[in-house]
Amino acid sequence: MTSPRRIVIPGGSGYLGRHLAKRLVARGDDVVVLTRGAGGTTGGVRHVTWDARTFGPWVAELEQADAIVHLVGKRVDVLPTRRNIERLRRSRVDAVEVVGEAVRSVVSPPPVWVQVATLAVFGDRGELVLDESVEPPTEGPPQMVGVARAWEQAYREATVTVPRAVLLRCGVAIGPGDPATARLAGLARLGLGGRIASGRQWVSWLALEDLLDQLERAIDDPGSSGTYHLTSPHPIRNGDMMAAYRRAVGRRVGLPAPAVVTRIGALALGSDPALALTGRRGVPARLLAEGATFRIPRFRDALRTALEDDTGPDTGPVTGSDSGPVIRPGSGPGS
């Protein structure tokens, strides 16, 4: 068991941040969440107001802190207009840049920076197995590749002076109260849980408990450094994933959604059709090589756990760039 330490979580008021903060408080850490919302202390977590762009009193929280876990980023489920893509990019880049400037400004800066990013940096890579040795493309959907590359570049520049920096490219989070899981389960209950387009696109996913385990490892383990793919060893194809949802809610069949219908429906709902139509076959090669284990490595088990423990979508206070990265469903064999 590690000794108590101060962990600062920019953007920690979103779904992932709330779960991480709860776990860190339970082990005795002093947790500080930087939020656009009101300040104060709730559940042992101190909330400090910031705007994710400029200096303020929040900078003092970095003095003698033990680690930063950076989760800031607007939700990606928006129309891929030029304006929205720029907002997505700025929400990530600005927040990373200002924390980097703040780290350089304090006398005793945190020695560890854990950055949660996304496997969407690879765009749509078909059947290619994506481990950490694969370089992200320079071209691809701008709301994916363009935003994620700028995000990672900002992180690398911000952490030049940080002794230990860890970049976690995450897959889809599957857990109780996760809005995306609740939405797909709801569609399956309505008989709409068929495959999307061909159903062959890969979804890289990770059970919430495993995601939290690996975040703790990144904070605590002095040997954890550099870039990791944070995803289950068993990605799943979209068709298999939707079949798992149907089984979980007791539906034998589900109406499929051809690509053209998916595009029209997503645009009508103000969403991005690429979230469902593209896929990535990510694998956690470095984690496995370093001996990491997964509590829930199979999708069907992660989904069962999420739905059994679910009390409805987690709709706690999420505003602006406090939402954290949304790691959406998209992917693998073996459910």
Q: Tell me the per-residue pLDDT of 130-153, one tens digit each, with 9 for 90 and over.
A: 999 999 999 999 999 999 999 999
pLDDT bucket at 2, cuts 50 / 70 / 90: low
CATH 3.40.1160.10 fits 6-176+205-233+281-294+317-322, yes or no: no
Q: Give the bridge partners for 172, in sequence order.
A: 205
Q: Tell me the per-residue pLDDT of 179-218, one tens digit each, with 9 for 90 and over.
A: 889 989 999 999 999 999 999 999 999 999 999 999 999 9
pLDDT bucket at 281, cuts 50 / 70 / 90: very high
pLDDT, position 77: 85
Q: Where exactly are the structural domains of the chain?
A: 6-176+205-233+281-294+317-322
Distances (CA, A) of 279 to 30, 100, 102, 115: 38, 32, 36, 22
Q: Give the bridge partners for 135, in sequence order.
A: none
Tokens standing for 260?
């053209």
- Average predicted confidence (pLDDT) for the chain: 91
Q: Which residue has the higher pLDDT, 326 or 307?
A: 307
Q: Tell me the per-residue pLDDT of 151-164, one tens digit each, with 9 for 90 and over.
A: 999 999 999 999 99
How would you write the chain as a 3-class SS string?
CCCCCEEEEECCCCHHHHHHHHHHHHCCCEEEEEECCCCEEECCEEEEECCCCCCCHHHHHHCCCCEEEECCCCCCCCCCCHHHHHHHHHHHHHHHHHHHHHHHHCCCCCCEEEEEEEHHHHCCCCCCEECCCCCCCCCCCHHHHHHHHHHHHHHHHHCCCCCEEEEEEECEEECCCCHHHHHHHHHHHCCCCCCECCCCCEECEEEHHHHHHHHHHHHHCCCCCEEEEECCCCCEEHHHHHHHHHHHHCCCCCCCECHHHHHHHHHHCCCCCHHHHCCCEECCHHHHHCCCCCCCCCHHHHHHHHHHCCCCCCCCCCCHHHCCCCCCCCCECCC
Q: Which residue has the higher pLDDT, 323 or 114?
A: 114
Distances (CA, A) of 31 to 25, 42, 164, 251, 260: 6, 11, 19, 42, 46
Q: Tell me the per-residue pLDDT of 48-79, one tens digit each, with 9 for 90 and over.
A: 999 999 999 999 999 999 999 999 988 888 99
Does residue 286 have a pLDDT over 90? yes
